[in-house]
């Protein structure tokens, strides 16, 4: 049972007479929380202090009054009022035992279906087609998948949507590359690799030309900034000091930009083939854009090529998703919305929401639900008549609300796009989509060990596939080393080792990402994410594998044990503090799922699983299972172990992490 939730509903009626005018009971019920220290019991209610202020009563008296009025004693021991007015709750042992027995028999492990299931679309992953996925896609993919799984378990109708970039400027580059640089044999043999090569080539050349063109200006800027720094008088006051430090920073930024441009130029000029191509195709950037425009305008050949390119690219993406165990329910790429875009802009213009500005169409003066201005303007049509991703996002809103009946739309996209999604949501509301809950589920950047965005040593972004390969490779080394050092010699064959390494390696990457608060940046560290100790996937997988090991050792079939326990009306016995803590922790699974879904924070769930694994270790240490004194105690403890394994399994599954029975 979700005791926290139960306590909230029990306190609600007792609270009602003391509520200040116009305030909702929920905000006070939210002050019922897990006890921050076991000495205070299992849960604590903190609402007496703020309520007492309004009621002009001593908080301890009010607390006692509310406790007396609340119907609690069938679940909790007599509550204690402590300190300035905290109410401490302790679950009755007999209730805890009975509820734990129920949990053991419950397929949903106590997680209820929400009362009002919603249709929720979740935009996540959303890579560009024909550009290899890279480390930048990791968080949206991993967090988005976990968010979908958690909402789905809660009973919502979740539509995980892969908003593919299948219509953008990269296709113009690929079309140009295909028409000019194609290696036919390579394309026949492996279209995706060849298309990726073509994209890279065109992109490199395009960057080269741009860098060449920008270089004089950049040099000028660097000179000017350096000169300005040199000319600046010694700062006389704080303001001058700040200005100087800012100037120095700008000089540094300019130098970096110049260095980056030089690197791009050097990369091409060092390669005679590339240099020749660059010279032969001086206008390739503009021509690539023209190819994109032709595609968008319905050019027959480009359209045919686009249709030819797409399937193998999608299949390549699917290979990665399959490996990661990730599924989308829908794939409405940008191209899907293309026919609706003109209508979207026209409608916004008609309704006076959008206006023309310098030939473009923009939406101005957007405000967020709190009435705060959103930085704009929000461009929905370019001067040349082309549409932007904001236009596509608005068409997506219309489609998802009208065709999919979305009650809520979640965007699992990095935090730098906050302004963009604020504009999408604000425009959609002005457009009339007032009943839809738009949520930007934003996340921070993955940093390297140096604290800067995660790149290879040479400064390139890291491909997702090679990242996964490296994780599995490192995991295999750990698995093998551990297995080799087992006291009775290795237990696993090469196949098993490979399978475990896959689960541990990929699990490690996912878990490290999910265990951090999604809003913060985090440092990517192989050693930390694959560590066998601490808050890692490996530790969690091991904790569960240990339980499996116990059952193997004891020759006990878990399903049979559970069936017999249920059929016999078996009891859970709480004879030891560690046993009680374990039982309570298992009952908290529903609470953890609820809290994790509240603001879409998978790290709430990882914390819970870590606590559960620790609780099991303590329980396992303190309480003999297979060697328990009596048969009843043995069966009770095995049921606790079995339920622990099921909770770990269900929890890891919610995170998209595989479990392994032996490691």
Q: Which of residues 13, 20, 58, 83 is near RNA by CB under 7 A? A: 83
Nearest C-alpha neighbor of 394 from the set 339, 431, 352: 431
Tell me if 18 contacts RNA by CB under 7 A.
no
Task: Report CA 122 to chain centroid distance, whole Å.
Answer: 11
Tell me if 37 contacts RNA by CB under 7 A.
yes
Between residue 436 and residue 475, which ones bind RNA under the rule CB under 7 A? 445, 447, 451, 453
Between residue 268 and residue 287, which ones bind RNA under the rule CB under 7 A? none
111 φ/ψ sector (left φ>0, alpha ψ -120 to 50, else beta): beta
Report the distance separating Cα 278 and Cα 284, nearest Å: 9
Give 231 or 527: the residue with its C-beta nearer to RNA: 527
Only segment of 9-17, 153-161, 262-270, 513-521 that touches RNA (CB under 7 A): 513-521
Write down the residue that tokens 């490690």 correspond to: 508
Q: Which of residues 67, 324, 625, 645 is near RNA by CB under 7 A? A: 625
Give 194 or 378: the residue with its C-beta nearer to RNA: 378
Q: Which of residues 64, 523, 556, 571 is near RNA by CB under 7 A? A: 523
Sign of CA pseudo-dihedral 344, 349, 355, 357: positive
Give 38 or 276: the residue with its C-beta nearer to RNA: 38
- The answer to whether 378 and 437 are in contact (CB under 8 A) is no
Write down the residue that tokens 């809003």 correspond to: 519
Write down the residue that tokens 């879409």 correspond to: 600
Tell me if 204 contacts RNA by CB under 7 A.
no
Residue 493 main-chain phi, psi, to 5 deg: -90, 175
Q: Which of residues 14, 247, 386, 467 is near RNA by CB under 7 A? A: 386
Q: Which of residues 224, 432, 553, 632 is near RNA by CB under 7 A? A: 553
Sheet with 354-357: strands ordered across: 354-357, 360-363, 378-381
Cβ density class 599-613: b for 16+ within 10 Å, e for less? ebbbbbbbbbbbebb
Report the distance separating Cα 611 and Cα 592, nearest Å: 11
- The answer to whether 345 and 393 are in contact (CB under 8 A) is no
Q: What is the nearest approach in angstroms of RNA to the Cβ of residue 301?
A: 22
Tell me if 510 contacts RNA by CB under 7 A.
no
Give 194 or 288: the residue with its C-beta nearer to RNA: 288
Q: Which of residues 545, 573, 654, 659 is near RNA by CB under 7 A? A: 545
Q: Which of residues 17, 20, 58, 84 is near RNA by CB under 7 A? A: 84
Report the distance separating Cα 652 and Cα 529, nearest Å: 15
Q: Which of residues 1, 7, 31, 146 is near RNA by CB under 7 A? A: 31
Tell me if 26 contacts RNA by CB under 7 A.
yes
Give 53 or 217: the residue with its C-beta nearer to RNA: 53
Nearest C-alpha neighbor of 391 from the set 310, 337, 332, 457: 337
Give 201 or 541: the residue with its C-beta nearer to RNA: 541
Write down the residue that tokens 């165990």 correspond to: 325
Q: What is the nearest approach in angstroms of RNA to the Cβ of residue 4?
A: 9
Q: Helix, strand or coil for residue 102?
A: helix
Report the distance separating Cα 530 and Cα 538, nearest Å: 7
Write the interaction track for RNA spanning residues 470-509; mark x where CB under 7 A is met and - where it is not.
--------xx--xx-xxx------------x---x-----
Give 405 or 532: the residue with its C-beta nearer to RNA: 532
Between residue 418 and residue 437, which ones bind RNA under the rule CB under 7 A? 418-420
Cβ density class 428-448: b for 16+ within 10 Å, e for less? bbbbebeebebbbbbbbebbb
How do 522-523 and 446-447 pair as beta strands? parallel
Sheet with 43-45: strands ordered across: 32-34, 43-45, 86-89, 80-82
Q: Which of residues 311, 343, 490, 534 is near RNA by CB under 7 A? A: 534
Q: What is the DSSP string of 482-532?
A: HHHT-TT-----HHHHHHHHHHHHHHHHHHHHHHS-TTS-EE--HHHHT-S
Tell me if 338 contacts RNA by CB under 7 A.
no
Give 119 or 617: the residue with its C-beta nearer to RNA: 617
Q: What is the nearest approach in angstroms of RNA to the Cβ of residue 520?
A: 4
Residues in the chain: 663
Q: What is the DSSP string of 114-178?
A: PSS--EEEEE---PBTTS--BGGGHHHHHHHHHHHHHHHHTT-EEEEE---B-SSHHHHHHHHHH
Only segment of 181-189, 194-202, 536-544, 649-657 that touches RNA (CB under 7 A): 536-544
Annotate 218-239 with three-state secondary structure: HHHHHHHHHHHHHHCCCCCCHH
Q: Which of residues 14, 55, 64, 82 is near RNA by CB under 7 A? A: 82
Nearest C-alpha neighbor of 15 from the set 71, 58, 56: 71
Q: What is the nearest approach in angstroms of RNA to the Cβ of residue 85?
A: 7
Nearest C-alpha neighbor of 543 from the set 440, 647, 648: 648
Tell me if 623 contacts RNA by CB under 7 A.
yes
Tell me if 620 contacts RNA by CB under 7 A.
yes
Q: What is the nearest approach in angstroms of RNA to the Cβ of residue 157?
A: 25
Only segment of 180-188, 296-304, 524-532, 650-658 that touches RNA (CB under 7 A): 524-532
Tell me if 78 contacts RNA by CB under 7 A.
no
Tell me if 525 contacts RNA by CB under 7 A.
yes
- The answer to whether 203 and 173 are in contact (CB under 8 A) is yes
Tell me if 595 contacts RNA by CB under 7 A.
yes
Tell me if 416 contacts RNA by CB under 7 A.
yes
Between residue 105 and residue 134, which ones bind RNA under the rule CB under 7 A? 128
Give 241 or 304: the residue with its C-beta nearer to RNA: 241
Tell me if 73 contacts RNA by CB under 7 A.
no
First CA to last CA across the chain, in angstroms?
32
Tell me if 50 contacts RNA by CB under 7 A.
yes
Only segment of 13-21, 298-306, 516-524, 557-565 that touches RNA (CB under 7 A): 516-524
Tell me if 593 contacts RNA by CB under 7 A.
no
Tell me if 342 contacts RNA by CB under 7 A.
no
Q: What is the nearest approach in angstroms of RNA to the Cβ of residue 45?
A: 8
- The answer to whether 388 and 379 are in contact (CB under 8 A) is yes
Q: Which of residues 53, 54, 217, 351 is near RNA by CB under 7 A? A: 53
Tell me if 176 contacts RNA by CB under 7 A.
no
Annotate 366-415 with three-state secondary structure: CECCCCCECCCCEEEECCCCCECHHHHHHHHHHHHHHCCCCCEEEEEEEH
Only segment of 146-154, 165-173, 424-432, 433-441 that touches RNA (CB under 7 A): 165-173
Give 167 or 309: the residue with its C-beta nearer to RNA: 167
Report the distance separating Cα 277 and Cα 270, nearest Å: 13
Which residues have a Cβ under 8 Å from the Cβ of 2 and sit 6 or more positions away?
A: 110, 112, 587, 588, 590, 591, 594
Q: Residues touching RNA: how many (CB under 7 A)?
A: 108
Give 457 or 598: the residue with its C-beta nearer to RNA: 598
Q: What is the nearest approach in angstroms of RNA to the Cβ of residue 637?
A: 8
Write the interaction track for RNA spanning residues 235-264; mark x where CB under 7 A is met and - where it is not.
---x---x--xx--x---------------
Q: Helix, strand or coil for residue 623?
A: coil
Only segment of 8-16, 152-160, 356-364, 432-440 that touches RNA (CB under 7 A): 356-364
């Amino acid at each position: 049972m979700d005791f926290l939730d139960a306590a909230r509903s029990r306190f609600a009626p007792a609270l009602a007479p003391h509520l200040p005018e116009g305030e909702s009971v929920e905000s006070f019920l939210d002050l019922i929380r897990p006890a921050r220290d076991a000495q205070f019991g299992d849960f604590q209610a903190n609402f007496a202090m703020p309520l007492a202020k309004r009621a002009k009563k001593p908080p301890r008296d009010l607390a006692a009054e509310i406790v007396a009025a609340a119907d609690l004693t069938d679940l909790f021991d007599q509550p204690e009022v402590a300190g300035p007015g905290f109410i401490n709750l302790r679950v009755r042992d007999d209730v805890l035992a009975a509820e734990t027995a129920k949990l053991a028999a419950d397929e949903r492990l106590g997680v209820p279906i929400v009362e009002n299931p919603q249709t929720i679309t979740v935009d996540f992953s959303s890579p560009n087609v024909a550009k290899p996925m890279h480390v930048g896609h990791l968080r949206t993919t991993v967090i988005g998948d976990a968010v979908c799984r958690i909402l789905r378990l809660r009973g919502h109708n979740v539509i995980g949507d892969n908003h593919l970039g299948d219509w953008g400027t990269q296709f113009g580059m690929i079309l140009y590359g295909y028409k000019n640089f194609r290696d036919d044999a390579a394309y026949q043999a492996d279209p995706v690799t060849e298309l990726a090569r073509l994209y890279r080539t065109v992109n490199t050349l395009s960057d080269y030309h741009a860098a060449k063109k920008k270089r004089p200006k950049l040099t000028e800027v660097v000179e000017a900034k350096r000169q300005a720094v040199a000319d600046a008088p010694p700062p006389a006051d704080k303001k001058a000091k700040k200005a100087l430090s800012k100037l120095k920073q700008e000089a540094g930024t300019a130098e970096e930009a110049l260095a980056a441009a030089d690197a791009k130029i050097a990369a091409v000029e060092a390669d005679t083939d590339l240099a020749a191509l660059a010279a032969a195709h001086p206008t390739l950037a503009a021509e690539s854009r023209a190819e994109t425009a032709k595609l968008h305008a319905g050019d027959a050949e480009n359209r045919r090529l686009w249709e030819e390119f797409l399937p193998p690219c999608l299949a390549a993406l699917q290979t990665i998703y399959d490996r990661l165990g990730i599924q989308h329910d829908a794939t409405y790429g940008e191209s899907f919305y293309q026919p609706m875009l003109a209508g979207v802009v026209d409608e916004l213009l008609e309704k006076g929401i959008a206006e023309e500005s310098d030939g473009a169409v923009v939406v101005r003066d957007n405000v967020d639900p709190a009435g705060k201005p959103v930085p704009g303007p929000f461009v929905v049509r370019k001067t040349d008549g082309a549409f932007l991703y904001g236009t596509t996002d608005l068409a997506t809103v219309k489609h998802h609300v009208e065709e999919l009946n979305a009650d809520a739309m979640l965007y699992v996209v990095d935090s730098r796009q906050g302004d963009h999604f604020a504009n999408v949501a604000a425009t959609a509301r002005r457009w009339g989509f007032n009943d839809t809950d738009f949520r930007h589920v934003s996340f921070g950047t993955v940093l390297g060990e140096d604290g800067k965005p995660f790149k290879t040593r040479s400064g390139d972004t890291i491909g997702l596939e090679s990242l996964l390969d490296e994780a599995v490779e490192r995991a295999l080394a750990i698995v093998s080393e551990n297995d080799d050092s087992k006291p009775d010699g290795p237990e696993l064959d090469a196949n098993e080792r490979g399978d475990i390494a896959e689960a541990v390696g990929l699990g490690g990457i996912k878990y490290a990402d999910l265990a951090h608060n999604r809003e913060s940046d985090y440092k990517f560290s192989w050693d930390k994410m694959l560590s066998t100790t601490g808050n890692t996937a490996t530790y969690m997988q091991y904790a569960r594998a240990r339980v499996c090991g116990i059952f193997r050792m004891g020759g006990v079939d878990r399903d049979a044990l559970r069936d017999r326990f249920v059929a016999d009306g078996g009891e859970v016995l709480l004879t030891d503090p560690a046993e009680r803590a374990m039982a309570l922790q298992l009952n908290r699974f529903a609470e953890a799922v609820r809290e994790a879904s509240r603001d879409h924070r998978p790290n709430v769930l990882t914390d819970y699983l870590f606590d559960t694994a620790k609780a099991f270790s303590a329980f396992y240490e303190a309480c003999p299972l297979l060697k328990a004194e009596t048969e009843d105690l043995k069966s009770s403890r095995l049921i606790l172990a079995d339920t622990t394994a099921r909770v770990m399994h269900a929890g890891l599954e919610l995170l998209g992490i595989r479990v392994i029975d032996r490691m």
